[in-house]
Chain A
Amino acid sequence: MEEYPEEWRTPPVSLVSLVGWSEHHHLISTHLLSHQPPINTLALPDLSKLLLLLPKSNKPPLDSPPQQGGILKRDWLIKHRTRIPSVVAPLFSSDQVSGDPTQWLQVCSDLDNLKAVIRPRNIKFLVVIIVKDGDDINEDRFIALRKRAELDAKYILTFNPNDASQLRHSLNRHATPLPFFYLFIFYFKDEGKRIKTRVEKKSINSIDFNIRHCFKAAVYAEFRRDWAEALRLYEDAYHILREMIGTSTRLPPIQRLVEIKTVAEQLHFKISNLLLHGGKVKEAVTWFRQHNNSYRKLVGAPEVVFLHWEWMSRQFLVFGELLETSSVSIQNISSLVSGATDRPLTEWELHPSYYYQLAANYLKEKRSSLELALSMSETSNEIDTSAESVVPSLYVGQFAQLLEQGDSATMKPLTDEEYTDYAIAEGKRFQDSFEIIALLKKSCESYGNLKARRMGSFCAFQMATEYFAVGDFSNAKQLFDGVASQYRQEGWFTLLWEVLGYLRECSKKQGAVRDFVEYSLEMAALPVSSGTDAKPFRFKECSPAGPPSFSQREVIHKEVFGLVSREAGSTSVEDDTHIKITGDTPLHLEIDHVSPLRVVLLASVAFHEQIVKPGVSTLITVSLLSQLPHTVEIDQLEVQFNQSECNFVIMNAQKPSLAAMTDGEQGHQVESAPLVLVTNKWLRLTYGVKSGMSAVLFCFTCKSMIFSINMI
Chain B
Amino acid sequence: MIVCVAVVGHQNNPLYIQSFTEADDALKLHHIVHCSLDVVDERVNNPKKSGPTLNETFLGLLYPTENYKVYGYLTNTKVKFIIVATDLDVRDADVRNVDIALLRCNNASCLSPFFRRFHAAYVDAVSNPFHVPGKKITSTTFAERVSTIVKSFGLSSAG
A interface residues (Cβ-Cβ under 8 A, vs B): 293-294, 333-334, 337-338, 342-344, 346-349, 354, 358, 361, 447, 452-455, 458, 461, 487, 490-492, 494-495, 498, 531-534, 537-542
Contacts and interface: CB of A to CB of B under 8 A. Distances in A.
Contacts of B138: 531-532
Nearest to A495: B30
Contacts of B44: none
Contacts of A533: 17-19, 26
A532 B94 CA distance: 36
Contacts of A347: 39, 42, 49, 63
Given A347-B49, A358-B66, A534-B20, A458 B26 contact: no
A461 B34 CA distance: 13
B95 A294 contact: yes
B27 interface: yes
Given A333-B49, A347-B49, A532-B136, A491 B13 contact: yes
Q: Which interface residue of B20, B27, B52, B136 has the most chain A CB atoms within 10 A?
A: B27
Contacts of B136: 532
A293 B100 CA distance: 16
A293 B39 contact: no
Contact of A293 (B11, B13, B42, B95): B95
Main secondary structure of the interface of A (DSSP, over half): helix
Contact of A458 (B18, B31, B147): B31
A344 B37 contact: no
Nearest to B60: A344
A537 B27 CA distance: 8
A494 B18 CA distance: 12
B143 interface: yes
Contacts of A342: 100, 103-104, 107
Contacts of A532: 16-17, 136, 138
Contact of B27 (A333, A334, A494): A494
A137 to B, nearest CB: 65
Q: Which interface residue of A447, A461, A534 has the most chain B CB atoms within 10 A?
A: A534
B63 A348 contact: yes
Contacts of B18: 533-534
A452 B30 contact: no
Interface string B1-35: 00000000001111011111000111110110011
Contact of B34 (A294, A334, A495): A495
A494 B32 CA distance: 13
A298 B12 CA distance: 39
A531 B137 CA distance: 11
A346 B59 CA distance: 11
Contact of A346 (B19, B39, B91, B104): B39
Given A538-B24, A539-B28, A346 B63 contact: yes
B79 interface: no
A491 B14 contact: yes
12 contacts: A338-B51, A346-B39, A346-B62, A348-B63, A358-B65, A455-B35, A461-B31, A494-B14, A531-B138, A533-B17, A533-B26, A534-B19
A164 B50 CA distance: 58
A361 B48 CA distance: 32
A454 B34 contact: yes
B31 A537 contact: no
A333 B64 CA distance: 16
Given A490-B11, A490-B12, 18 more contacts: A293-B95, A337-B51, A338-B52, A346-B64, A447-B38, A453-B38, A454-B34, A458-B31, A491-B14, A494-B17, A494-B27, A495-B31, A498-B27, A532-B16, A533-B17, A534-B20, A534-B147, A539-B27
B61 interface: yes
A452 B27 contact: no
Contact of B38 (A337, A344, A454, A542): A454
Contacts of A542: 27
Contacts of B100: 342
B104 A537 contact: no
A538 B23 CA distance: 9
Given A534-B147, A539-B26, A334 B49 contact: yes
Interface in B91-105: 91, 94-95, 100, 103-104
Contacts of A348: 39, 63
Nearest to B45: A451
B58 to A, nearest CB: 13
B83 to A, nearest CB: 14
A534 B94 CA distance: 32
Contacts of B147: 534
Given A346-B39, A347-B42, A491-B14, A537 B26 contact: yes
B61 to A, nearest CB: 6
